[in-house]
Amino acid sequence: EPEVTQTPSHQVTQMGQEVILRCVPISNHLYFYWYRQILGQKVEFLVSFYNNEISEKSEIFDDQFSVERPDGSNFTLKIRSTKLEDSAMYFCASISNGYEQYFGPGTRLTVT
Amino acid sequence: DAKTTQPTSMDCAEGRAANLPCNHSTISGNEYVYWYRQIHSQGPQYIIHGLKNNETNEMASLIITEDRKSSTLILPHATLRDTAVYYCIAVNAGGTSYGKLTFGQGTILTVHP
| Yes or no, beta carbons of A95 and B41 under 8 Å apart | no
| Whether pLDDT at A88 is above 90 | yes
* Residues A9-47 pLDDT 10s: 999 999 999 999 999 999 889 899 999 999 999 999 999
Q: What is the DSSP letter of A71?
A: S
Gap from A109 CA to chain B (nearest CA, Å): 13
Interface residue A90 vs chain B (CB under 8 A): no
At residue B95, the pLDDT reads 66
A43 in B contact zone (CB under 8 Å): yes
3-state SS, residue A36: strand
Give the closest-approach CA distance of B97 to chain A in angstroms. 7
More confident residue, A96 or B27: B27
Residue B72: count other Cβ atoms within 10 Å of its Cβ. 15
Give the 3-state DSSP-derived string for chain B, with helices as H, strands as E and coil as C: CCCCECCCEEEEECCCCEEEEEECCCCCCCEEEEEEEECCCCCCEEEEEECCCCEECCCCEEEECCCCCEEEEEECCCCHHHCEEEEEEEEECCHHHCCCCCCCCCEEEEEEC
User: Residue B104: is its pLDDT beyond 90?
Assistant: yes
In chain A, residues with a C-beta closer than 8 Å to the C-beta of B32 are 99
- Residue B95 CB partners (closer than 8 Å, separation 6+): none
